[in-house]
Structure 1
Amino acid sequence: MPDTEAGPRLSQGNGPRPAPGNGPRSAQSSADAVPLQELAAALLDLEPLLSAVPERLRVTPPAGSDPGSVRVLQAALDALAARLDMPGVTVVPSGDGLWSVELAVSRRLARALGTAPAEAVIHADASAVDRAVRAVHATPPGRPVPLRAHDGTPLRGYRAGAADAPAVVVVMACGMPVGLAAPWLRALSGTCQVVTWESRGMFAAGDGPGLPALTGHDLAAQAADVLAVLDGFGIGEAHVMGLCGGAALALAAAAASPRVTSLSLWHGDYELGEDAPKTPHQRDVEGLLAMASRSPRHAEGLHRMMRRPQALDALRPEVAHHLLHPYASPELMHRYGLLNGVIMSTDYRPLLREVRQPTLVVSSEQDTTAHPEGSVQVAERLPCATLRMMPHGDHLSAFGADPGLVGLLSDFMRDIHGTTERDT
């Protein structure tokens, strides 16, 4: 349930790109051509969405591109998608009639092009495509690793950092693609082995078309995926950090296993009954999830609303393609209602008495998405918790891995475990 409000932008991919210019684009020399690595990184960032949506999506070149850019951009995107082994997109000259996801995908690709003309990618030969794809695969989060949950459900796992480094498991917000947590994977991979996965049943597994079967959606099954990811990567124990609704899953995993040695809970979304208030956003999302979980037919009606271009108005442009993922098809919406509905409706007060691991709890008074009082109450009830209320930062700030937050986590892990650095 990440924040959808306007505010400071997060960096993505290989860093922020300049906004596309407003004037006409002219041809440039090959020396000024758009770096294919940026375009490949954008496609890899979009892969979870393109693989999960049943229809082939349409995109437009950036505003001001020459008419011939449609053909050239299509050829470059086709070559990159084939090399990345992922679904492609269809480039169309106009954005008229595009739905919300298609517009979000178009904008993500436009940011990758930056100020370079779309037609400049004509310089993308096979060797350049191969180099670009190898480079983005080597940059966290990289390509997904097929894993299996304990009930057989296929999972898409990701790992960054050295295998002999202290392990950190990132538990993302339910239904969100790995790209939303990529800043943490990049920030921690220099000193830690960082692993994560994408929510069960919400992402194409790579072993056939469409989504895999959703074999279980209760809290126990979702929390057990934390341990399945440890098993899949051969990790004995780890620090577990939970973001948004992932904080609740982190708590459940810690209560179930001592392999979770410590916790950090970032802007958590908790059900605590009358002990903690909820924001209007939390209440609205709970109502939407309850309706979507009833049946695919109910989810289909909600999906029609989310297809409108106006659905993008409340979403930050640089992460809109991630935030729309759970709403991108009726089946995704239905599964999201089941999975996140359980996370948001389970009363966590009994669970808090079972978690004894050292825990860092982080929130901010500026979070209007997940009420900060929930974090206050969790910290007060856990026997070994430290609360840090940040003076600034809304809900999505937790996903940005800025130096202050990374330092906060590093200091906590150093205090608890001695160091975050590998022995040399």
Structure 2
Amino acid sequence: MTTVAPRVERRSRANDIELAWDSFGDPAGSPLLLVMGLGAQMVAWDDAFCARLAEAGGHRVIRFDNRDIGHSTHLTLLGVPDIQALMVQAMAGQPLRTPYNLRDMAADCVGLLDALGIERAHVVGASMGGAIGQEMCIHHARRMLSFTSIMSSTGAPGLPPPTPEAMAVLFSPAPTTFDAYQAHHAKVWRILRGPASFPLDEARDAEKAQLVFLRGLNPAGVARQLAAILASGNRKPALREVRVPTLVIHGDDDPLVPVACGVDVADAIPGAQLLRIPGMGHALPIPMWPQIVDAIAAHTARHAGS
């Protein structure tokens, strides 16, 4: 594993909150913003992965904690939504009232670009981060050079659901003691990585769990993020009007967001390219970094000034 120098974490005001962020690569490089998924801190973008991405594409790679997670603002005063009630309302086609939605989180991204003095950036989003990136494409396209959606969905009705095991870990509360959290973290990722074995990743689970735990957990914030996903509904009709150059990456063995969801994203966005990766689940496993990084670097190079 490549050793990467420790990052200097900063906080910037964006969209009336504060976002914690750090960066990799040449500060003068073409900016690339990484947007992470539900309940995931920015460190879920592995340091070595970010360094490879910066080197391969000549990018200034920026990762950040979404609102309500990690070291970014926790919106405690907004309360804890009733997820079960929201799911019932969503299935009934009723409008949802939630603390915020994914469009607000896309505005956070734009606010961070503003704070960093960046006019346009390549955007790479994973899972919920991919949905946030889609909202950027719909509402803030002029701020984007390109978009890469990884293991995400349009939110359209009728798409395949998660496996029961993946659904169970999605809704399992994180323990509040470190030993219990470490075991919980390993179980979650063992399921989300899918049926294949990834010894290199599994060997680092304890280290990753410690890093996340020490940066701080916010279960209420995860619930608010999940409510935001539910409230944001079906983006597919709006995505048909998107003209941001798009690459879709999805694993064939994704248990949480099945590959048909990624195919749907690629079908919805005109001109989108689809890269299906055999054996990849709902994770970015170390053996697949070269393929993922090379695909993103090639995509951003083709649209460096689009």
TM norm structure 1: 0.55
Larger Rg: 1
In structure 1, C-alpha distance between the alignment counterparts of 2:303 and 2:216, rounded to whole Å:
44
In structure 2, C-alpha distance between the alignment counterparts of 1:332 and 1:343, rounded to whole Å:
17
CA 1:304 to 1:165, structure 2 compared with 1: closer, same or farther past 3 Å?
closer
- State the Cα deviation string for residues 198-255 of structure 1 (Å, max 9, x = none): 011223359xxxx565665322221111111211211110110111221001111121
In structure 1, C-alpha distance between the alignment counterparts of 2:216 and 2:299, rounded to whole Å:
41
Task: Name the residue aligned to 1:273.
Answer: 157
Is the 8 Å Cα contact of residues 154 and 236 (structure 2) preserved in structure 1? no
Amino acid of the residue matched to residue 164 of structure 2?
P
In structure 2, C-alpha distance between the alignment counterparts of 1:344 and 1:183, rounded to whole Å:
32
Q: Choose the corresponding residue for 2:26, options 162, 166, 180.
A: 162
In structure 2, C-alpha distance between the alignment counterparts of 1:155 and 1:386, rounded to whole Å:
31
CA 1:418 to 1:395, structure 2 compared with 1: closer, same or farther past 3 Å?
same
Q: Choose the corresponding residue for 1:359, options 246, 252, 257.
A: 246
In structure 2, C-alpha distance between the alignment counterparts of 1:192 and 1:389, rounded to whole Å:
24
| CA deviation after TM superposition for structure 1 residue 323, in Å | 5.9
Is the 8 Å Cα contact of residues 219 and 249 (structure 1) preserved in structure 2? yes
Q: Indicate yes or no: 2:210 matched with 1:346.
A: no
TM norm structure 2: 0.74
Give the percent of matched residue pairs that are identical in Structure 1 and Structure 2: 21
Tell me the secondary structure at the aligned position of residue 362 of structure 1: strand
Task: Name the residue aligned to 1:51.
Answer: none
Task: Name the residue aligned to 2:197.
Answer: none
In structure 2, C-alpha distance between the alignment counterparts of 1:272 and 1:372, rounded to whole Å:
14
In structure 2, C-alpha distance between the alignment counterparts of 1:350 and 1:357, rounded to whole Å:
15
Task: Name the residue aligned to 1:237.
Answer: 120
| CA deviation after TM superposition for structure 1 residue 357, in Å | 0.7
Q: Indicate yes or no: 2:53 matched with 1:188.
A: yes
Tell me the secondary structure at the aligned position of residue 189 of structure 1: helix
Tell me the secondary structure at the aligned position of residue 378 of structure 1: helix
1:91-170 equivalences in 2 (<5 Å): 136-137=5-6, 142-150=7-15, 152-170=16-34
Is the 8 Å Cα contact of residues 271 and 345 (structure 1) preserved in structure 2? no
Q: Which runs of 5+ in 2 are unaligned?
A: 79-98, 190-201
Tell me the secondary structure at the aligned position of residue 170 of structure 1: strand
CA 1:342 to 1:320, structure 2 compared with 1: closer, same or farther past 3 Å?
farther
Q: Choose the corresponding residue for 1:260, options 144, 148, 151.
A: 144
| CA deviation after TM superposition for structure 1 residue 398, in Å | 5.9
Is the 8 Å Cα contact of residues 253 and 280 (structure 2) preserved in structure 1? yes
CA 1:276 to 1:320, structure 2 compared with 1: closer, same or farther past 3 Å?
same
Is the 8 Å Cα contact of residues 197 and 229 (structure 1) preserved in structure 2? no
Task: Name the residue aligned to 1:201.
Answer: 68
1:11-50 equivalences in 2 (<5 Å): 11=1, 14=3
In structure 2, C-alpha distance between the alignment counterparts of 1:256 and 1:265, rounded to whole Å:
16
| CA deviation after TM superposition for structure 1 residue 384, in Å | 2.1
Q: Indicate yes or no: 2:30 matched with 1:171.
A: no
Is the 8 Å Cα contact of residues 326 and 333 (structure 1) preserved in structure 2? no
Amino acid of the residue matched to residue 264 of structure 1?
T
Is the 8 Å Cα contact of residues 158 and 197 (structure 1) preserved in structure 2? yes
The higher-RCO structure (CA 8 Å, 6+ apart) is: 2
CA 1:177 to 1:367, structure 2 compared with 1: closer, same or farther past 3 Å?
same
In structure 2, C-alpha distance between the alignment counterparts of 1:399 and 1:221, rounded to whole Å:
32
CA 1:229 to 1:418, structure 2 compared with 1: closer, same or farther past 3 Å?
closer
In structure 1, C-alpha distance between the alignment counterparts of 2:287 and 2:143, rounded to whole Å:
27
Q: Which runs of 5+ in 1 are unaligned?
A: 1-10, 16-135, 290-298, 420-424
CA 1:392 to 1:303, structure 2 compared with 1: closer, same or farther past 3 Å?
closer
In structure 1, C-alpha distance between the alignment counterparts of 2:33 and 2:100, rounded to whole Å:
20
Tell me the secondary structure at the aligned position of residue 218 of structure 2: helix
In structure 1, C-alpha distance between the alignment counterparts of 2:38 and 2:206, rounded to whole Å:
15
Amino acid of the residue matched to residue 174 of structure 1?
L
Task: Name the residue aligned to 1:408.
Answer: 295
In structure 1, C-alpha distance between the alignment counterparts of 2:37 and 2:106, rounded to whole Å:
13
